[in-house]
Structure formats: structure tokens, C-alpha cells
Amino acid sequence: MSTLRENPRLADLQRYVAEMEREHGFIDQTVLQKCLLLGEEIGELFRAVRKAENMPLEAHRQAGAIDEEIADVLISLCSIANRSGVDLETAFRKKEERNKERVWA
């Protein structure tokens, strides 16, 4: 079983997710399938936020904890990045460099 080291970097998370997906048989899912699953995970995160903010929820729908739902979103993002050949840390740093040039008004 895969293990995640203490204080992981984004690359460690991506590697861990790839190993976990191989172990659980998810490695053959496509980018499209992972994007659709990401949408579902975001919906679950929104439902958890609604619950935490004491907003009404559908009676038949369960709401998880915000931290768990955020983790699911991150796992899905890592899966999509892995399938797309994207190094998340490099992409993040590159995007932040571009954002420094933007005018935020």
C-alpha cells in the first residue's frame, strides 16, 4: 500500500495519487471521467459548506465534512494533472508569476 511522506510537496501528492489509483484500479479512467468526478466532488464540497453555514439542505442528501471534501477535490485535481502531464507545482508557480503582472482592481 502506498504511503505519503510527512510534509509532502505537490509532486509527492501527485505521485501518491498515481500510486493509489494503480492500486485501486482507477488508472484507466480518462481525463474526461476524472473531470466529471471533480465536478461531483466540488458539489459535495459546496454541500458541506452549506451544512457548515447552517443553510438548508435536501433532506435525502448527506453532507460530509469540509476538510474531507477539499481533500477529495485535491485528489481529483492530482488525477487530472497526472493524466494531462501537468506538474502542479510548476503550473502554480508559473501562474502566480503571470498573476503578479495583473491589475487587480
Using one digit for the tens of pLDDT, what is the confidence trace for 11-33? 999 999 999 999 999 999 999 99
pLDDT of residue 90: 96
For the beta carbon of residue 29, count every other beta carbon within 10 angstroms.
14
Confidence label for 58 from pLDDT (cuts 50, 70 and 90): confident
Q: What is the distance in angstroms between the CA of the first residue and the CA of the last residue of the chain? A: 48
**16 neighbors 8 (Cβ within 8 angstroms):** yes
pLDDT of residue 94: 97
Q: Say which amino acid occupies 34.
A: K
What Rg do the C-alpha atoms of the chain give, in angstroms? Answer: 16
Mean pLDDT value of segment 1-5: 86
Mean pLDDT value of segment 36-65: 93
pTM of the entire structure? Answer: 0.89
pLDDT of residue 67: 98
**Mean pLDDT for all residues in the chain:** 94
Residue 60 pLDDT greater than 90, yes or no: no
Mean pLDDT value of segment 37-63: 92
Give me 85's grid cell: 502531464
Mean pLDDT value of segment 32-43: 98
CA 8 to CA 2: how far, in whole Å?
14
